């Protein structure tokens, strides 16, 4: 077998294994799900709802105001219409799917839903208020899920009298398209809720990975590590487009700064804010908020193609005081990718993932990791633990958050592979 064939076989096996939940009795009874409630009809709520409507579920969707509800449902209809226009399904299917939607303005109207997925702003207080109300109004046995990207689901569950019914269902944007679903098992989530959600993921045609509660879970936690290193490089004078270009050459369609421009630099920012990212703050103040304002880290030409920006380079120089510096593409890659491998190892050490290959399934299906290098763990084995350790020793000296994981040291000194790490699987206590 060539290495390429081995990588393909590994990916297929990893995808199949992600469905297996050791310790969960296959005979665990599933809860019946017919009507799904969604709270929030924004970017995520609308896309999440589409998955269920497409699969034949009734969807009840709640917003705070009629205008927001109308806007959200119009986006859903537009998405279905575009698919019908492309010939993916007949026109009357658009109406069939839309007829499954029932828009409401009160959470109490969800009371008889079998599953509720909360997709409101990423704000702990707001989520706690919503879960307090869900606890009060929902019928017994309803599954209460949150789509939070990074918040502590144990803390959310703790405001209810039924933490066994609370789980994370972390969809990826655009939620009607992206295959990955991180199912986040919180401390008290009951077995039948896990079993039901794994089953449901199959029904709505997702690839499920069961993970534990930690900031960012598996996918975003690793993404945060990469993002932090990307920002550090910019502080050393490496230009955002050079950082992105190294990742593009590795096979990622988008690097961190291209992603920021697409998502909008002003996510989590408001006018006058001084966050831990002063470059971003300055760009936002200049109304360089990403593709939507035709300028962000990049300038955009008439054809909306990103071009390196002298304005951004000037902002970076003013804020960091660093002279523009060239760094070899390989060195940029090491600095961004080895910390992802190290973070994945820490996730396994903390028992927040079931197995190393699940990390790869997450990154392949949720974050566009190039299949030819199989995911962070498979790629770690291609590079070898010694090389990853060398990078992390250096980065760890600058910032203890990036100190090498114990298991990374062990692999480097005693041998063994990342994909074979066995720390005992997922644990929730």
Residues that bind ligand NAD (CB under 6 A): 39-45, 62-64, 68, 119-122, 130, 147-149, 171-173
For ligand NAD, give the closer residue by CB, 99 or 262.
262
Q: Least separation, in Å, of the C-beta of 388 and ligand NAD?
A: 28
Q: Considering the complex, what minimum distance in angstroms separates the CB of residue 202 from ligand NAD?
A: 20
Is there a contact between 326 and 241 (Cβ–Cβ < 8 Å)? no
- Sign of the CA dihedral 37, 43, 47, 53? positive
> Which tokens in the block code for residue 95?
């109406």
Q: Closest approach of Cβ 39 to ligand NAD, in Å?
A: 5
Residue nearer to ligand NAD on the CB measure, 266 or 360? 266
**Please, what is the minimum distance in Å from the beta carbon of residue 104 to ligand NAD?**
9
Output helix, strand, coil percentages for the chain, rounded to the nearest 5.
Answer: 50, 10, 35
d(CA 381, CA 376): 9
d(CA 173, CA 140): 31
- Look-up of token digits 């760009």: 283
Buried b (16+ CB within 10 A) or exposed e, 249-271: ebebebbbbbbbbebbbbeebee
Q: Give the nearer residue to ligand NAD in terms of CB position, either 249 or 273.
A: 273
Structure tokens at 350: 């903390």
**Closer of 257 and 378 to ligand NAD (Cβ):** 257
Nearer to ligand NAD, 120 or 211 (CB): 120
Cβ at position 64, least distance to ligand NAD in Å: 5
18 secondary structure, DSSP code: T
The nearer residue to ligand NAD, 147 or 189, going by C-beta atoms, is 147
- Decide whether 172 or 297 has the Cβ nearer to ligand NAD: 172
In whole angstroms, the minimum distance from the beta carbon of 419 to ligand NAD comes to 27
From the list 414, 405, 429, the residue with the least C-alpha distance to 356 is 405
CB of 374 to ligand NAD, least distance (A): 24
**DSSP for 237-304?**
T--HHHHHHHHHHHT-S--HHHHHHHH-TTTT--TT---S-HHHHHHHHTT--BGGGTBSSSEE-TT-
Give the residue at shortest CB distance from ligand NAD. 42
Residue 192 or 266: which CB sits closer to ligand NAD? Answer: 266
Nearer to ligand NAD, 117 or 408 (CB): 117
The kind and range of the H/E element at 212 are: strand 207-212
Least distance between ligand NAD and beta carbon 334 (Å)? 28
The least CB distance from residue 303 to ligand NAD, in Å, is: 25
> CB 387: neighbour CB atoms within 10 A?
14
Interaxial angle between packed helices 376-383 and 3-17, expressed in degrees from 0 to 180 and rounded to the nearest 10: 150
């Amino acid at each position: 077998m060539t290495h390429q064939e081995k990588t393909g076989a590994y990916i297929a096996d990893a995808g199949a294994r992600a469905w297996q939940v050791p310790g969960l009795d296959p005979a665990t009874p599933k809860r019946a799900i017919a009507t799904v409630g969604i709270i929030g009809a924004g970017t995520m709520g609308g896309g999440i709802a589409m998955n269920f409507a497409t699969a034949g579920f009734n969807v009840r969707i709640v917003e705070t105001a009629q205008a927001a509800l109308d806007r959200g449902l119009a986006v859903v209809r537009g998405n279905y219409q575009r698919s019908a226009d492309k010939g993916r399904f007949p026109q009357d299917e658009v109406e069939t799917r839309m007829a499954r939607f029932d828009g409401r303005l009160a959470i109490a109207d969800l009371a008889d839903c079998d599953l509720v997925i909360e997709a409101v702003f990423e704000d702990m207080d707001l989520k706690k208020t919503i879960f307090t109300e869900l606890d009060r109004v929902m019928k017994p046995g309803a599954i209460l899920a949150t789509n939070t990207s990074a918040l502590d689901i144990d803390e959310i569950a703790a405001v209810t009298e039924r933490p066994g019914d609370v789980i994370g269902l972390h969809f990826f944007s655009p939620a009607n398209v992206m295959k990955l679903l991180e199912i986040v098992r919180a401390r008290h989530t009951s077995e039948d809720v896990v079993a039901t959600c794994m089953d449901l993921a199959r029904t709505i045609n997702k690839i499920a990975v069961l993970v534990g509660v930690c900031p960012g879970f598996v996918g975003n936690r690793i993404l945060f590590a990469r993002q932090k290193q990307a920002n550090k490089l910019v502080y050393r004078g490496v230009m955002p487009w050079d950082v992105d270009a190294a990742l593009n050459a590795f096979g990622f369609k988008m690097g961190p700064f291209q992603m920021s421009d697409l998502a909008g630099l002003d996510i989590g920012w408001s006018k006058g804010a001084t966050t831990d990212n002063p470059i971003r703050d300055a760009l936002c103040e200049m109304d360089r908020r990403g593709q939507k304002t035709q300028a962000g880290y990049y300038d955009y030409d008439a054809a909306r193609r990103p071009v390196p920006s002298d304005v951004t380079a000037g902002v970076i120089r003013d804020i960091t005081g660093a002279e523009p510096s060239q760094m070899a593409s390989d060195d940029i890659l090491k600095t961004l990718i080895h910390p992802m491998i190290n973070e994945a190892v820490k996730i396994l050490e903390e028992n927040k993932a079931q197995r190393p290959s699940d990390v790869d399934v997450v990154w392949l299906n949720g974050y566009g990791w190039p299949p030819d290098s199989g995911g962070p763990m498979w790629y770690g084995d291609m590079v070898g633990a010694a090389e990853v350790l060398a990078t992390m020793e250096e980065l760890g000296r600058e910032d203890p958050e990036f100190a090498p994981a114990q298991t990374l040291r062990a692999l480097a000194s005693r041998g063994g592979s990342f994909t074979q790490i066995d720390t005992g699987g997922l644990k929730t206590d």
